[in-house]
Every structure is written in C-alpha cells, then in structure tokens.
Amino acid sequence: MKLRLLLGFAAVALLAFAVPRAKSNPRPKTPDSKPLAYSPRPANTLTFTKDVAPILFANCASCHRAGEVAPFNLTSYADAAKRAKTIASVVEKRVMPPWKAAPGPAYVDECRLTDDQIGLIKQWTAEGTKEGNPADLPALPKFPDGWRNGEPDLVIEMPEPYTVPAEGRDIYRNFVIPTGFKEDRWLSAVEIHPGNRRVVHHVLVHLDVSGKARELDAKDPGPGYRTGGGVGFPSAGQIGGWAPGNVARRSPDGIGVNVPKHSDIVIQVHYNLNGKPETDRTKIGLYFAKAPVDKRARLFPLASRISIPAGDDNYRVTSTMPVPSDVTLRSVMPHMHLLGREMKVFATLPNGKEIPLVHVPEWDFNWQMGYAFKEPVKLPRGSKVTLEARYDNSADNPRNPNSPPKPVRWGEQTTDEMCLAYLNFTVDSERLTQGKTVPSITDYLRKAGEARRKKQEK
C-alpha cells in the first residue's frame, strides 16, 4: 500500500520536527532458528478432527474459505490433508498465519501460533495426516457474511466502473462521491470493499469541502481523475484506508470521525497493472456513530526522509517526534515498500521509560497491517515517539525491483520507497460534548517547526 502523507502541510510539519538519521552498517547476522518448545504426543494418536482442525479453524479459516483472499480453502479434512506438508512448512517458518509483529504489546485480533500448535501440526503431517472421528470435528466459526462490521448505515461506491489497462505504470485514480449530507455526521467506522483485488493495490478515502475535486473530475475524461501526486486538493482529512491484511474496526463509543455537511468523499485507488484489462468498482460502507462523540479519532503520519544508495544492504533511518499534549494511542500502522526489511516504533516517556509499540522484524510489502492495542497506550505530554527502519537495496534482496540495484528515494511508485508509521490517537483534554476542542497535532508541529526555523535563522 503506497500511502502518501495526509496533507501537504503535515509533511512539512513532521519533517521539520522529526530528526532523521541515515547510516549504513554491516548487516547483522540472522540468528539460528530456536527449536520448538513442543512435547511430542504419543505416536500416531493425532487426528485432524480432534487436534488440527481447531487450530486451522481458529487461525486460518477466516481467510482460507470460499470468497476470501486466500488461494485455497482450509475448512475440511480434504483441504488440509492434500496441503499438509506445505502447511507444516509455512507455519514452522511463521510465514503463516501472516501476523508480522514480534511479541510485544497485546494486540486486537492477534493471530500467532504457539510452538506447541506448530509442533502438533508437524507431527500430524509426519505421521500420515489421519482424519479421525467425524464426531470430534468442531463447528466452523461464524464469520461475517460480506461486511465485517455488519450492514453499513450507508454504502457508497464509485459512480461507474473503471477499466484498468493491461500494461503501463501504476495508476492512482481519484473518484468523487458527493455525500449529500445536510448536516455534519460522525462515523465510527469506514469499511472498504475493493471491487477487484487482482488490480486494487490499496485505497485511501479523503474528504473534500472545497469543491476542487469535482472541478478536477469534470476536466478529466472518463471516470474519476488523475493527478501528479496527492489528491489534487487540500484534504479535509483521511477517514479510511485499505490494503491487503488491513481490517476495519469500529471506534469505541464516544470516539468518531467527522464528515462535514455538503462534503464530498474522494476515493483514491492505487491500481497495479497485471497484463490484461480489468474492471473495478470499489464500495465503501459508512457506519454512523450511535452515541455522542466526545473525542475525534486522529491520524498522524510519522515519517522519515530516505535516500537509499544502490547496493546498500543495511540502510537505516530514524525519526522522532514530540508528543505535545496528553494523548491516548490506539493503533500503529507501519508502511514501507519492497526494499523495506524491518521497522520498529516505540515511545519514550518523560521519565525515560521506553514503551514498545510495534516491531515488524521481517517486513512484507504484500501483507500490511494496522496493529490496534487491546489496552490503549497513554502518552503524557513531553513523551517522544520514535520510528526506526532498515532497508536492503542490494542485489541479494530477492524483492529488489531493480537489477542491477539503483539509488532509490521517496516516491509513489512501487519501485520507489516510503518510510511511515501511521499513529491513530485521541487527545485526552478534548471534550466535544462540552464544547472543548483542541488543535490538530499537525498545526502544533507546523507552528513549532516555523519557530524552530526562525530561531535557527537568527
């Protein structure tokens, strides 16, 4: 998902205050895999119905079922038995389930197999994949049918289908949808359903209160419009996004995203071309807040400059931003491209205590996730949030899109790079139900950056 900065001034603000450092170091050696902490069961006693099915149904079937993103089903003995060796291999390597964060804070919907579960699958496979007694087979979980968060209050979609050409560069296309709202509305969730996952790489949803998006759409023939970068207007806020691995969740009562009356929703879709013409018509489900909203859900992109030399297999960057007021951090979403290898985000409290937020030791561009904390993280004023990332621009990186390697900088194409961590938070002092609002963090950082520059100029 090639996410871009939410607002132009946000980019200026955060880069003015962030402290990026880039350096090359010898690549650290990968430690040898540790043996699984698994006590083997008595020989030839493991069965699919009693032992393996509960693991697969709880951790794999949400994607490996009819109509979902996985390429095959894992909802029956026949499904699992014919792929047993593959399953045993990918779970041992922890490629599957595709949970990328290292152990740390407790996350919502965390999906990670234990050593015991992995060892059990391996033993069952090695001993011939016995089926077992059908009476022992657990029922499949009840999965949402269609919309993950239930039927939306309002479903909007691209005004007409868009035809994606067979070949060429990646396409960013913007589609304008008037809300028709006669009063401000608060949203508790925005759920995005890509119309064609074969070509939809990611989706961003912006708000336009200026009417500029309509003007751009009218000037561009065909559905939607293209720009050289960004969405072509001062976004009034990004209210949603989708990438493979990402899921939409409802905000707790009292927290929401504001959609101003008469505003337009602009869906920006990034298309990857796959060698044949395709058609897409992406839909979005809007869920209105059911309780009075006291705090705005806020999204801030912590970023770092990058300029990766050709051949550098261990390029590192660090970026730090201050926390200007007491906030409650609810989730973090890291983002890099194909050269990304590792990202770590952590907070440092005023007393020096370090709080881990998320660490992705093996970055996967094809499976990007937002990590929501089971217990939101309180960060008092004066804390700092730090992002550390590592890239591999060498010929030994099998994901390197350039052969031979070439210098890579920030950009929107898949072959470019990015370094972002989206922070989702609320400001503790805000009390909308009492008429108390607080400025955005981007306003604070912009003003602080301006003051800092003026001080340096003296």
Question: Is the CB of residue 386 less than 8 Å from the CB of residue 304?
Answer: no
Domains: count for the chain:
3
Please give the share of the chain, as a percent, with pLDDT higher than 70: 88
Give 299-344 pLDDT, tens digit per residue. Answer: 888 999 999 999 999 999 999 999 989 999 999 999 999 999 999 9
pLDDT for residue 95: 87
pLDDT for residue 56: 95
pLDDT for residue 276: 93
- Among 336, 373, 335, CA closest to 355: 373
pLDDT for residue 301: 87
Q: Which helix (H) or strand (E) holds 189?
A: strand 185-193
pLDDT at 81 over 70: yes
pLDDT at 24 over 50: no
Lowest-pLDDT choice from 28-37, 140-149, 172-181, 336-345: 28-37
Q: Which residues contact 332 (CB under 8 A, 6 or more apart)?
A: 345, 357, 358, 370, 371, 421, 422, 423, 424
Higher pLDDT among residues 442 and 281, named by residue: 281
| CATH number of the domain enclosing 327 | 2.60.120.230
Q: Which tokens hold the place of 257?
A: 């995203």
Query: Which domain-ending residue is among 294, 311, 331?
Result: 294
**Residue whose tokens read 């804390």:** 383
Query: Which domain-ending residue is among 266, 294, 322?
Result: 294
The answer to whether the pTM exceeds 0.85 is no
Ordered DSSP codes for 135-178: GGPPPPP---SS-TTSS-SEEEE-SS-EEEPSSSS-EEEEEEEE
Please give the share of the chain, as a percent, with pLDDT higher than 90: 68
Q: Same domain for 272 and 328?
A: no
pLDDT for residue 219: 94
pLDDT for residue 8: 32
Q: 41 in a domain, yes or no?
A: no
Q: Same domain for 233 and 264?
A: yes
Q: Same domain for 187 and 57?
A: no
Q: Which domain holds residue 162?
A: 154-294
Q: Same domain for 324 and 446?
A: yes
Query: Which domain-ending residue is among 265, 294, 323?
Result: 294
pLDDT for residue 26: 43
Q: 16 in a domain, yes or no?
A: yes
Q: 58 in a domain, yes or no?
A: yes
* Mean pLDDT of the residues in the chain: 87
Q: Same domain for 283 and 159?
A: yes
Strand partners, 409: 307
Q: Same domain for 337 and 364?
A: yes
Lowest-pLDDT choice from 5-14, 105-114, 201-210, 393-402: 5-14
Give 219-230 pLDDT, tens digit per residue. Answer: 999 899 998 778
Strand partners, 301: 422
Q: Same domain for 178 and 268?
A: yes
DSSP classification of residue 438: -
pLDDT for residue 378: 97
Lowest-pLDDT choice from 139-148, 166-175, 358-367, 404-413: 139-148
Lowest-pLDDT choice from 5-9, 213-217, 352-356, 395-399: 5-9
Q: How many CB atoms lie within 10 A of CB 48?
A: 24
pLDDT for residue 453: 65
pLDDT for residue 248: 85
Phi, psi values for residue 217, rounded to 5°: -65, -40
Q: Same domain for 250 and 347?
A: no
Q: How confident is the model at residue 54 (pLDDT cuts 50, 70, 90)?
A: very high
**Residue whose tokens read 């894992």:** 74
Q: Same domain for 374 and 418?
A: yes
3-state secondary structure of 445: helix
Q: Same domain for 305 and 453?
A: yes
